[in-house]
Structure 1
């Protein structure tokens, strides 16, 4: 038998991501997206695959080529499939007959089209489209290119003028269009200086549910209301009336109820999302999980999956029962709910469920599951028995070649008696009696959650001979409202103590850890905490800070979220420079003795690169050991969806830095 090898960063080019499964209404036909990296072309490629979940045969590829094909959606009768493809440049809506034949392009929008939603009768498809005020849905490519490409100044009049995802705002608003499947005729359902997000079509075809913020001053508004738009008159009806932020809106099959995720922003961006129900007949909105500490949706983080989609509430055929995903204690779980208020897990295990589809059935579901030693596959879940049957095995070849580290769950109490939860990975090829260096990993957010999911970075470090420690300190999702809110106003306080308590616990309970060879790394909030840690202790011999915050004073206003995130999280603003500086790692630069590698993206608008520049210069000016790596054209999402070659370089920089200072 061939001896297995350890995994390398470059194995990302061999691994495939399966995501966004959709089970047709017949309960047997399933379509999903498979994404892989193309090394030579330095890009991602996505195609659609079909599988019959009853026959459990090998998946059949339905689209081909080296472009991105995604967002597959069945028509209600299952005879057609709509999807988005960028094969002609910008993403457009395509449709294909499920009995065979070439896909046909439906839209030719100047800036592309996304998010296809079928009408109940299968004759129309609604979609999202970005348009400037003078653009139409049928603008030709020649018209699109008529403007001279000279550089022009950017005129800024609002605070929300940039986004880490899409860059500087260019005058486009997100509208909703409708296309006739047979004729290709298109029309706009919405217009004006507002962004609309398409949600779902009512079963009778008369209404479309959308979300939007129609506030006059959106710079100081953070609501997301649900509107029902009449498809004939285009009249709006606001059913949430400005009370909070809502999304993932789905109709019950009889059209009498709408289910949605949302909250009233009681704790700003630390507020738990809940299940809400709107009765269409009596026009009544109620929160079904008001008394529950359950977080609905998938808030687990990783660095591998591409195109994962949270499905919202999936109604059963009886109009009474439904399923959804929830985030709970390091796992994501399939939950069952009903109009009577019943609520319990339908499938609970140590896992990350990042995709869910029922096709309207109540007894079965297709789920996408990742575990620490499995990047992700599709399974058929029997809801009544809890049994899983594997449907795909896209990473079998790679997993048969490599040895991966299996994390061990740890549970302990903080110094002030809070229950804490995390994991420790032994190095690959661990040998009893030997000592190993430990790397502490810290997640971003801070309102996110480490989970029982595959993390390529962790596996690559474990393959190099490091033990890996990672926990969910207070501020993390998955452990209730009080826990997630506890970090606000206390950055570098009890959250720091939680993390150091975890290090103490690991050293006290795992004698294979070499206490004098500790490393630390993290990104975003995790980068902030890495900076904070090395300014408050010299226990760590090496550190890598990624897309970090170092100075809350200069962060104010330069981030795409800076002017309100600081208010919400630090609970201070420029009227209180003392508090902002107290929570800034840069204030403690004189105490930083740990060799620090600084990784940052040039086009990171979430944590702008000036944060890294200040820290690097301050350290270098003081003669400290540091190095600064700037990733061109990359944004805040480099580690998860950046250019493949830059993702590889990032991982290798981390490995080499720890190798230099810890081995």
Structure 2
């Protein structure tokens, strides 16, 4: 069978698995499946149910565009979820064995984060409300169409009207300007749909859990506008109707209560945050219900507890999984090591809590759920974005421990002891059949020494249809973040470039995650220094190692931090025949005042006391070196980007153009910073065509000495 090459719109052919929830009896699981409709120029997310005994899969929902945030009832007979099928986003409940979903809520401004109470007839959720005011609902007699008219009118009135703010942070990329409403806890009666609002105030609730005895624990922002994302731990007391502070010892993120209710597990930033700030690893702690710190489980763990792998083929994820074993002896979480997304676990007692790898291999595990000794997980590989598998945990309880690492130490291949097939039981592979008809390029990892003799990891992709003995033009890709990383996950963008006859080189320069705390911290206050050396040294190392790379015909592109680095490189070297800078940064001084995260990010990443160090910010700004730019440059920017605002591209474009040099500006309307991952499909296609079109039209002919 002759396979075809990947097309620019083929990201729309993938089915992407999201969060996983296993039924209380362990026989079934529910997960969202994201698909793309090119005709509607939109995404759809429907809930799927799989029988774990025979792997049969069926849709649980078929209505609405987005169905997510599902949770099983304690008796396993129903699933509550959030859907936009009518009245905006509301809580719906559907029988697990099939039937019609019933709408439970009527909130005017939507709902999120549904959780069941052990009492069966009670649900909890988050609903946005004005500070110190009541949650608003639609009038009971409104039809769905009339409710939609109310939503649209309110949206238009908001869009067209003036806004007044008195806090430092008043906007968020992807959401827009703040509506001055804050997530609050509500308790919902399943039988009547009536609700009680449990919290109020400007500091919204972040996440929450319901303990086995029905107690509520939740995170809430601190009353400090500069520490806008700091969250403390609170408890809500049903008897008094009051909330009380449990702990402000950490910056709290995810919570999970032990099966017996005696212990709270928390993913937090601890005191190390004040050393590493936004580069700090997440840590895992155990606390008593009264807030006493019982144990630091990750004290000797060398890596972060998150999935930091980048991909443009990933469904939106609602939660970071954190799971207790049924006996309370272990905690399970995600972690990333040298581009591998893994499930790790920690002993909750005893003398050796250092994490063990439960599911690993050269792949990207990005979601999981646990019930008894049955682990169900979703993962990607470099050539497949979404599969569902399961594994029965070993009865002997022995797994490989994560070894400590140093930033200058290359990966020892022997530590990758868990292959992607070991003990795997495939449950659902929604993309395998379609992928069998498409020719893809399998990335090849390599390691190289860079500045300060550090080892850096990279990957090389052959062009589709590669022929031995031929040399191919190269596209160098630079990731965003910078505290993220490339890994063993599939990228449609790179695969499509490879299908056009280009080789791809991509690396993880210092400052990215999955290589230890020292590595991820190394870029802070040092942008454009050894991180830039890592990128260029990686290109040189790849060219020296892989003879099919044409080192005289290399283009460069990257987005966000990768856009900053692209701008920086073209101001410091002329080795690229073309460059495409996406959602970039050119001027840190104006970024401080225009970005939705400007002050905090600049202070943490570039220089402390930024307003007193404008010279330092300017020295680290690509705009300061704009007169050196000779490389043909395309600047791609979304007009609704609030993370790296449009003015960043405009400044760089204007200065280069005013000097009579070759540059183009490609403005994309109705898109935010996340365009390449979750923007309108038609705009994603136009973005890809613009990147490749600019590079390919500037591709120089093969040099005579190479013929």
Tell me whether the two structures share a fold, i.e. TM-score over 0.5: yes
Residue in 1 that maps onto 2:632: 595
Residue in 2 that maps onto 1:658: 695
Matches within 5 A, 1:203-602: 203-205=212-214, 207-215=215-223, 217-241=224-248, 243-264=249-270, 265-266=273-274, 267-280=276-289, 283-340=292-349, 341-359=353-371, 361=372, 363-384=373-394, 386-572=422-608, 573-602=610-639
Residue in 1 that maps onto 2:666: 629
Within 2, Cα distance between the matches of 1:497 and 1:456? 27
**8 A Cα contact 1:427 1:463, kept in partner:** yes
Within 1, Cα distance between the matches of 2:72 and 2:367? 16
SS of the residue 1:662 aligns to? coil
**8 A Cα contact 2:626 2:656, kept in partner:** yes
**8 A Cα contact 1:441 1:520, kept in partner:** yes
Deviation at 1:89, TM superposition (A): 4.5
**8 A Cα contact 1:176 1:198, kept in partner:** no
Deviation at 1:285, TM superposition (A): 4.4
SS of the residue 2:429 aligns to? coil
Deviation at 1:161, TM superposition (A): 0.7
Deviation at 1:281, TM superposition (A): 6.6
Gaps of 5+ in 1: none
Within 2, Cα distance between the matches of 1:127 and 1:282? 23
**8 A Cα contact 2:297 2:354, kept in partner:** no
**8 A Cα contact 2:440 2:464, kept in partner:** yes
Deviation at 1:200, TM superposition (A): 1.0
**8 A Cα contact 1:405 1:462, kept in partner:** yes
Structure 1 residues 258 and 540, CA, compared in 2 at 3 Å: closer, same or farther? same
SS of the residue 2:452 aligns to? coil
**8 A Cα contact 1:260 1:312, kept in partner:** no
Within 2, Cα distance between the matches of 1:66 and 1:105? 12
SS of the residue 1:533 aligns to? helix
Matches within 5 A, 1:157-172: 157-172=166-181
SS of the residue 2:18 aligns to? strand
SS of the residue 1:237 aligns to? strand
Q: Which of 644, 648, 654 pairs up with 1:617?
A: 654
Deviation at 1:383, TM superposition (A): 2.5
Q: Which of 79, 82, 96 pairs up with 1:81?
A: 79
SS of the residue 1:612 aligns to? helix
Within 1, Cα distance between the matches of 2:355 and 2:635? 45
**8 A Cα contact 1:73 1:117, kept in partner:** yes
Deviation at 1:399, TM superposition (A): 0.2
Deviation at 1:25, TM superposition (A): 2.1
Deviation at 1:220, TM superposition (A): 4.2
Structure 1 residues 290 and 575, CA, compared in 2 at 3 Å: closer, same or farther? same
Deviation at 1:107, TM superposition (A): 0.8
Residue in 2 that maps onto 1:107: 105
**8 A Cα contact 2:633 2:663, kept in partner:** yes
Within 2, Cα distance between the matches of 1:371 and 1:421? 17
309-318 or 563-572, larger mean C-alpha shift: 309-318
Q: Deviations over 1:465-511 (max 9, x none)?
A: 11111111110011111111110110000100111110110111111
Deviation at 1:244, TM superposition (A): 3.3
Within 2, Cα distance between the matches of 1:508 and 1:83? 53
29-38 or 386-395, larger mean C-alpha shift: 386-395
SS of the residue 1:149 aligns to? helix
Q: Deviations over 1:614-652 (max 9, x none)?
A: 011111111111111111111101011011110111111
Q: How many residues align?
A: 656
**8 A Cα contact 1:190 1:234, kept in partner:** no
Deviation at 1:222, TM superposition (A): 4.1
**8 A Cα contact 2:301 2:355, kept in partner:** no
**8 A Cα contact 1:544 1:654, kept in partner:** yes
SS of the residue 1:20 aligns to? coil
Q: Deviations over 1:82-119 (max 9, x none)?
A: 01100114111100121332100011101011111111
SS of the residue 2:631 aligns to? coil
Structure 1 residues 497 and 312, CA, compared in 2 at 3 Å: closer, same or farther? same
Deviation at 1:520, TM superposition (A): 0.7
Q: Deviations over 1:268-301 (max 9, x none)?
A: 1110001111123783343211232221121111
Within 1, Cα distance between the matches of 2:339 and 2:285? 24
Residue in 2 that maps onto 1:646: 683
Deviation at 1:307, TM superposition (A): 2.1
Gaps of 5+ in 2: 396-421, 701-707
**8 A Cα contact 2:60 2:98, kept in partner:** no
Q: Which of 169, 175, 188 pairs up with 2:197?
A: 188
Within 1, Cα distance between the matches of 2:469 and 2:247? 61
Structure 1 residues 408 and 310, CA, compared in 2 at 3 Å: closer, same or farther? farther
